[in-house]
Structure 1
Amino acid sequence: MNYRHAFHAGNHADVLKHLVLSRLIALLSRKEAPFAYLDSHAGVGLYDLLGPQASRTDEWRDGIARLWQGEAPALADDYLAVLQALNPNGALRYYPGSPELARQLSRAQERLVLNEKHPEDGRLLKDNMSGDRRVTVRLGEGWHIPRALLPAPEKRALFLIDPPFEQSDELERCVVALEEAIGRMRQTVVAIWYPIKSLAQLRRFYQDLEKSGAPKLLRAELYVHAPNDAGRLSGSGLAIANPPWGLEEELRELLPWLAGVLAQSEGGWRLDWLIDEAPSPAPVAPAVPGKAKAKGKGGKAPR
């Protein structure tokens, strides 16, 4: 994809990723015990949607802008509350990256370790996170996080893997990072964000995930166009190892709503288990994904 994230802040992929992240934090916070939040490719943490980079693409106008003034389910309240705090005058301008979202939604007992490889982005991330003693910013290779930071002393961890996908092998490296994280601390909640562009490449990715050895692995995908191999960003997904109890039910409410709000041509969604700890006779998700219309038919899930 070859991008600095500031060009794409607040787009449909960010909305999916950050809304799910907000629910992961909320569900983990139901237990009193603290958890560590680890972010492999953190970016700068905070974005100006009217700045020169975001304004060049204006992708946020078909993303977070569609949610900003509309009605939303209660499950989106935490996510939208962070946005409202950043934009108190009611005009949407500033958008939180995953570090800022995690910083604002996590509790006082949590510890956050944010990694960013790009030197300039790392400096901006440090500036944006300054003043919060819970936050540590690392400047280095994000793929080293599992070996460097797991097992966590908190005994619970939420690990977001969100690379820029500039290299052709990054889907494979995501699986390796998942395997290392689970191998070092089996109960780690690992969330891998990935773009939906090449269906052939995704099929290999799914197969690799199924062989990862994760105790459980939930797949959640959102499509704003019908997925194909045309090379455009048709949507995005999250592969979530060890999802906290209740997340699947919440996503069954959120994904159809997001597909309806964010669809650009043919929208749709998929939610199923790549690794199910206790398989049931009936499939966990419908064989045909939920559909939503923008101007055409509902989107099809990649097969």
Structure 2
Amino acid sequence: MNYRHAFHAGNHADVFKHLVLSRLIALMGRKEQPFAYLDSHAGVGLYDLKGDQASRTGEWLEGINRMWEAADVPELAADYLRVLRELNPGGGLRYYPGSPELARQLTRPQDRLHLNEKHPEDGRLLKDNMKHDRRVAVHLGEGWHIPRALLPVAEKRALMLIDPPFEQVDELQRCAQALKEAISRMRQTVAAIWYPIKDQRQLKRFYNDLAKSGAPKLLRVELYVHPVDSAEFGLNGSGLVIASPPWGLEEELKQLLPWLAEKLAQTQGGWRMDWLIEEKAGG
């Protein structure tokens, strides 16, 4: 368990992932009925961009810093940016919210959060960061067990983020298996899986596994900062597959993705969005 997200906090992949997450939460919040947010690999929840780890890589300078300084930010990014501004009231950019803090601030009083972090030190930091919110339960177990441990939820609606560190060679396969378990336990779960875009052969197998997950519908969304087939860079972009996305998300992303691809491009930006599983007629 060597991975520490602080080295990568606020990079282009975080901006993409967290902006989409903010829209998922907003769209689910249109219904009064409460929902539960589940985060399988949560991290610590809050990151210091001027701290030792983030400063060593400086990845945030090509990520959230570009968005922070942009004058043409789309209105659909307002919720995401509001959280950032509340964390940085002086106007400078120093603190960045991980998915747990973003979800905590954007969910409503009637919603509940289950955050899981396996790394012992990060788990303690997560508990400390979340201790003042009674809606939040922090778990310190294996992230891959979250679907079977927590689904179905009492709220009848669930939004789950699966975002492992991708240190092990089988983690794409385990993501697909986790999705399959989530769907089998609570079919209407809105499940989002984040993944890095590096090896196209591995991704092809991943897409095939996802297509067999049994999800009612499955949207694939990818953002590129380098040519997708380049072997020159460590991370060409990242993707999200979203099971049973709320109505309206696809249209929102059609507005957001071109802007993100242009703003975050490093050598060549791009994006794609399509359905790995299309909803059956009458489904």
TM over 0.5: yes
Structure 1 runs of 4+ with >2 Å offset: none
Q: Distance in 2 between matches of 1:272 and 1:90?
A: 37
Secondary structure, counterpart of 1:173 in structure 2: helix
Q: Distance in 2 between matches of 1:190 and 1:184?
A: 12
1:211-258 Cα shifts (integer Å, max 9, x gaps): 111000000000000012626100000000000000000000000000
Secondary structure, counterpart of 2:167 in structure 1: coil
1:3, distance to aligned residue in structure 2 (A): 3.3
1:22-171 alignment runs, 5 A limit: 22-70=22-70, 71-171=72-172
1:69, distance to aligned residue in structure 2 (A): 1.8
Specify the alignment match of 2:222 in structure 1: 221
Alignment size in residue pairs: 278
Q: Distance in 1 between matches of 2:278 and 2:79?
A: 28
Specify the alignment match of 1:201 in structure 2: 202
Q: Distance in 1 between matches of 2:143 and 2:187?
A: 19
Q: Distance in 1 between matches of 2:110 and 2:19?
A: 22
Question: Mind listing any 5+ residue stretches in structure 2 that lack a counterpart?
Answer: none
Question: Mind listing any 5+ residue stretches in structure 1 that lack a counterpart?
Answer: 280-303
Q: What is the percent sequence identity of the aligned residues?
A: 76
- Contact 2:41 2:143 (C-alpha < 8 Å) held by counterparts: yes
Q: Distance in 2 between matches of 1:256 and 1:127?
A: 38
1:77-98 Cα shifts (integer Å, max 9, x gaps): 0000000000001000000000
Q: Distance in 2 between matches of 1:62 and 1:106?
A: 28
RMSD: 0.9
Return the match for 1:254 from 248, 256, 260.
Answer: 256
Q: Which moved more, 1:65-74 or 1:234-243?
A: 65-74
Q: Distance in 2 between matches of 1:147 and 1:201?
A: 26
Q: Distance in 2 between matches of 1:45 and 1:96?
A: 6
Letter in 2 for 1:259: A
Q: Distance in 1 between matches of 2:270 and 2:148?
A: 37
1:130, distance to aligned residue in structure 2 (A): 1.0
Q: Distance in 1 between matches of 2:138 and 2:187?
A: 24
Specify the alignment match of 2:240 in structure 1: 238
1:82-129 Cα shifts (integer Å, max 9, x gaps): 000000010000000000000000000001000000000000000111
1:278, distance to aligned residue in structure 2 (A): 4.1
- Contact 2:40 2:162 (C-alpha < 8 Å) held by counterparts: yes
Q: Distance in 2 between matches of 1:3 and 1:115?
A: 15
Q: Distance in 2 between matches of 1:276 and 1:150?
A: 24
